[in-house]
Amino acid sequence: MDYFLDDFQKDLVEQARRIGRERIRPVAAEYDLNGTFPWDLVKVFADAGFYSLWVPEEYDGLERGILDLVLVTEELSKYCGGIALSVAASALGTFPIVISGNEEQKKRFLPRLAAGEALAAFGLTEPSAGSDAGAIQTRAVKKGNKYVLNGTKVFITNGGAAKVYTIIANTDPEKGTRGASAFIVEDGTPGFSYGKEEDKMGIRASSTRELIFEDCEIPEENLLGREGEGFMVAMKTLDKSRPGVAAQALGIAAGALDLAVQYARQREQFGQSIIQFQAIQNMIADMATKVEAARAMLYSTARMIDGGVKGYSKESAMCKVYASDVAMEVTTDAVQIFGGYGYMRDYPVEKYMRDAKITQIYEGTNQIQRMVIARNLIKEAQKVS
């Protein structure tokens, strides 16, 4: 079903599908086992124009929007959720520049990011500030025409692989969230180094690193927007990027469903393929229904964002919550359909289950997303009354 996609989007999906089938599927298990970052595939994605989809045309991008990012991320994630993150995470790191960057900043950074010559990453999470984004401890102190950063960011996707980082740091701790500011920090800046590389349960082909800032001096022209706007930049960024997480989750679920159906057609028990059993048919019917429902919600939200609708925080949170919960349910059921083989690394489906779990956690846990949804519903009810 094309979901009313235009010709460009149909070609985009087919291109991503071909790359997934021919380039990702053969290496996914090896990259997962070894925790290998997919540099060879980053080049393939760059040549395909995937990194330019969300960048405005005047900065060498295609300016296609969130739906196109969702389509690519979903399709690549059907083959490997970790490898697909090299695209989605770079979008996350680029969005703050697109949203709040001035003309000089956009000209300086966006063409490189659009071309895939450099990857981007987003630095918000800290050891004591995950879902509580207002509790960040990283400090940025103005000294002359520079800011001096000190602090540590953790669990940063594309950490160590990216060349451009958008970092949220505190410029005035007494103001709470209104004291946070956003900065662009480039790889190789003195005082900026990488710490622990995480050994993860899933998405192992994605790099997740600590970022360490020790008297790291960055020029004042790398401040995004004005001082005190960092929290706003972060929230706008996450509202825009959460459909990307939903797309990753959806792709993982859809990929696991495909594997489960294929296996159920081939696996024989009691003289017939197990797909003939009503219990298995009921499982795959429920799995497919959930996948389609998640896809419909996600595409609708992406179109809202691309259509210029103001205030899509609730819908962004909804599609992230639902798609990630579906991913966990569908991959768990897929393992069940594979039976004992589903638990073994000789078969790919266990990887999908491991990859799915993180989508319920990062870019705001699903518990936090439900709070966002509820608070928006309360505000809407107050306006009506």
CA distance 23 to 342: 24
Place of tokens 């060879």: 40
Find all residues with CB under 8 Å of 68, minimum gap 6, and list them. 8, 9, 12, 53, 54, 62
Residue 335 in contact with residue 276, Cβ under 8 Å?
no
| Closest CA relative to residue 67, chosen from 295, 287, 330 | 295
CA distance 82 to 102: 32
Instruction: Report which DSSP code applies to 157.
Output: E
Token pair for residue 262?
């294929």
End-to-end CA distance of the chain: 40
Exposure letters 36-53 (e unless 16+ CB within 10 A, then b) = bbbeebbeebbebbbbbb
Nearest-Å Rg of the Cα atoms of the chain is 21
Q: What angle do CA 351, 16, 337 make, to 5 degrees?
A: 30
Long-range contacts of 352-355 (CB under 8 A, 24+ apart): 352/81, 352/252, 352/255, 352/256, 352/259, 353/256, 353/328, 354/201, 354/202, 355/80, 355/81, 355/82, 355/202, 355/203, 355/252, 355/331
Amino acid at 212: I
DSSP string covering 108-130, please? HHHHHHHHTSS-EEEE--BTTBS
Q: What are phi and psi of 224, to 5 degrees?
A: -90, 120
Choice among 57, 229, 363, 380 that is catalytic: 363
CA distance 125 to 284: 37
Q: Is 363 a catalytic residue?
A: yes
* Catalytic site positions: 363
